[in-house]
Structure 1
Amino acid sequence: MKILVLNSGSSSVKYRLFDGTTTLAKGLIERIGESGGDAADHEAALQRVMASVDLDGLDAVGHRVVHGGSEFRKATVIDDDVFAVIEGLVPLAPLHNPAALSGIAVARKLLPDVPQVAVFDTAFHQTIPPEGAVYAIDASLAERWQIRRYGFHGTSHAYVARQTAELLGLPADRAKVITLHLGNGASACAVEGGRSVATSMGMSPLPGLVMGTRSGDIDPTVIFHLHRVAGLPIDEIERSLTRFAGLQGLAGDNDMRTVQDRWAAGDPAATLAFDVYCRRIKEYVGTYLAILGGADAIAFTAGVGEHSPEVRTASLAGLSALGITIDEARNERGDRIISPDGAPVAVCVVPTDEELEIAQQVTEQLRD
């Protein structure tokens, strides 16, 4: 099938055209609506996309949508009702869903006869059991305001877990894999038999692992303290925790490559940031080993996960008693399997491909 995958951000549109698993075209339109940007608005951006790629015989458009709430458990063909439900979920993802809705609206207008399919970051995590999804707060409040763990990076975790099983020759429907998506945004996921059973992000992409600019897990009292004692407005606290925390907050730089260069030179702030980052990963690996009752593999993916042997080593250091070791020569080379032969838990480096996963989910949805 010929599928156009669109990832519409607030000021950008990333696109990739597939024929089956073959990429026919791809690109990025940036600084939409900004002075000197590539396009005046999302409609102009998508018109530019459609003018630059061959859409003859296009079977569908797949849209990445960050938040599907509890309503969407799989890729879904978009009609007016589905569009309205996604719109109703904007309060859960105010920075992401509006941009996706803009892309969907324009694509439906420009390609009215082509099926439009939404693929949700949250859908893969709908299999997490209730005890892993609910928060221990007033149940009536949680129900009224849709408060629960949703999880994100679902397309990446689904793809990487399946590719890891294939790499190791394991049946995907029985494999236990811990996937570590480590980029500027970062999350961990426990996958059992191809199903997410636990993930580190929650109601939003803020909690869990330390990220480029996001704090990851903190005591909620920090927010109350900063508001009541420090006098900071809630909006300012939210901005601090999402844009000026994580590596940025600890080291003054959100790029792990720069942090590692400073760490290697002995910079104290960068050393602390690196150590906190890797310790948090180790904590989640231990937690997910317990939840899964052991694992067949741990898979590193995304920018940091795929390209930083130092992070991989530090994140799993000291876990040999649990059957987790790294062959440093393989790790430095960036081999796909970086654990020693015969290790009880394989450690892998598996490149993610979220656009391909979206295209494949769109194809499956249209064939159902």
Structure 2
Amino acid sequence: MSSTVFVLNAGSSSLKYQLVDPGTAEVHASGTVERIGEAGGVRDHEAAVREALADIAGKPAPVAVGHRVVHGGDRFDRATVVTPEVEHAIDELAALAPLHNPANLQGIRAAQAVLDVPQVAVFDTAFHRTIPAAAATYAIPAGLAERYQVRRYGFHGTSHQYVSRKAAEFLGIPLESSKLIVLHLGNGASACAVDGGVSVDTSMGMTPLEGLVMGTRSGDIDPAALFHLHRQAGLGFEELETMLNRESGLKGLTGKGDMRDVQAAAAAGDEQAEAALAVYRHRIRRYVGAYMAQLGGLDAIVFTAGVGENNSLLRRRTLARLEHFGVHVDPDRNEVASKEPRRISPDGSPVAVLVVPTNEELEIARQTAAVL
């Protein structure tokens, strides 16, 4: 009997899909439908879902659909079967994620129209609902924060949850007593302190903009810098928002948003690119140090996602100044490429350094199956 889950990640103009068995982790099909609603593309999200279904025809029929939903606010702390009430909540939470939740909801409604199986929403923010108030609270007027839901929510939750579990398994220690720092480094990037399998702090905040330097996002910045740019450069609200999300980060510092291009430029002697990489590494070290203090001990630092999994030079140079904390990188192990979890620190190091490939689709499928 089939036990596959159809995992959907709906964006405003694209639909990523994967048909996966949550028990065996076997992927039966995967792909992306692009240019939804654009010239040369499919008409709408329902048409995109139908195209994805055509691709999986003949494969094991899905018993459920697992949807990635970016923002669950303070309402959802776990994967949830989609009901009219859940749809309404996702719609209301679009105020916190206007670029993501509306598209996620379109994907849910499109799948409902063409598939008569349970639909489950898996929230990026859910894993971080355990963050204590001291870490989640911004020091602004409390009434305003409560009324407009201003707090740290955190993102990349499915990745951090999957990777922290795999890291504990690899180390052979109970997840319930593990202390880990997970570095999800891709075009979007975030750090997470995981204590006993529970998120206790994370670098992304109310939105995915806060925290580490990313491909096109600034990460941390003094808010007064934006007031200054408004007054002195005449930049309006929308211009500033666009700048911070799409024109900053590595792209803002170098003109290149892809880490591979920036690193190639640095290797060729581009001083601007090397300076940008120094900023990138410095920001990561700042969070690693802070999370060491918050955790009160550390079993492992874990790299994951595209940059974290594949960029050995970045890993080595980022951790190079942490030896006095018991963090060491074995140069030979660090250069080994693999799709399996691996240790890149020497045997016997006080703090293990791991590379653990993430698998958000499998995590979504497993959470979907667990709900059902």
Q: What TM-score does the superposition give when structure 2 sets the normalisation length? A: 0.96
Contact 1:175 1:296 in 2 (8 A): yes
Matched residue SS, 1:73: coil
Find the aligned partners of 1:56 and 1:242 in 2 and give their Cα distance.
40
Deviation of 1:52 (Å): 2.1
Q: Determine the structure 2 residue equivalent to 1:6.
A: 8
Deviations 1:107-161 (A, max 9, x none): 11112x3110000000000000010101011000000000000000000000011
Contact 1:210 1:216 in 2 (8 A): yes
Find the aligned partners of 2:145 and 2:296 in 1 and give their Cα distance.
29
Deviation of 1:264 (Å): 1.1
Deviation of 1:241 (Å): 0.6
Unaligned runs of 5+ in 1: none
Deviation of 1:53 (Å): 1.1
Letter in 2 for 1:337: R
Q: Determine the structure 2 residue equivalent to 1:266.
A: 269
Contact 2:215 2:257 in 1 (8 A): yes
Q: How does 1:1-368 map to 2 (within 5 A)?
A: 1-19=3-21, 20=23, 21-37=25-41, 39-54=42-57, 57-111=61-115, 113-334=116-337, 336-366=342-372
Deviation of 1:236 (Å): 0.1
Find the aligned partners of 1:9 and 1:85 in 2 and give their Cα distance.
18
Deviations 1:261-307 (A, max 9, x none): 11112211101111000110011000000000121000000010001
Matched residue SS, 1:14: strand
Deviations 1:334-362 (A, max 9, x none): 46100010000000011000000000101
- Percent of aligned pairs with the same residue? 60
Deviation of 1:57 (Å): 4.4
Deviations 1:236-271 (A, max 9, x none): 001001100000000110111111111112211101
Contact 1:75 1:117 in 2 (8 A): yes
Distance change in 2, residues 1:234/1:298 (3 Å)? same
Q: Which 10-residue stretch deviates more, 10-19 or 222-231?
A: 222-231
Find the aligned partners of 1:246 and 1:176 in 2 and give their Cα distance.
29
Find the aligned partners of 1:334 and 1:52 in 2 and give their Cα distance.
31
Letter in 2 for 1:196: S
Letter in 2 for 1:12: S
Find the aligned partners of 2:232 and 2:50 in 1 and give their Cα distance.
51
Q: What TM-score does the superposition give when structure 1 sets the normalisation length? A: 0.97
RMSD: 1.0
Deviations 1:285-332 (A, max 9, x none): 000000001210000000100010111011111111100010011111
Where has structure 1 moved over 2 Å in runs of 4 or more?
A: 54-58
Deviation of 1:9 (Å): 0.7
The size of the alignment, in residue pairs, is 364
Deviation of 1:226 (Å): 1.1
Contact 1:334 1:349 in 2 (8 A): no
